[in-house]
Amino acid sequence: MTITPEFPDGTYAYFLTSDFPIVPRCFKGIPSQDFAKGRPPR
């Protein structure tokens, strides 16, 4: 959790560095229906 001028009550954020250049691929909550659309056709 981090506090910024835009989110004075705090928000989750990810910071990429050369030692840890990985974005987590999991989340907490209910996924949006947009995720059910699948990949675009080739």
Could you say which DSSP state residue 11 is in?
B
What's the confidence (pLDDT) of residue 11? 92
pLDDT in tens, 1-42: 899 999 999 998 888 888 888 777 777 778 777 767 666 777
* pTM score of the predicted model: 0.36
Tokens of 7: 């989110």
Could you say which DSSP state residue 19 is in?
S
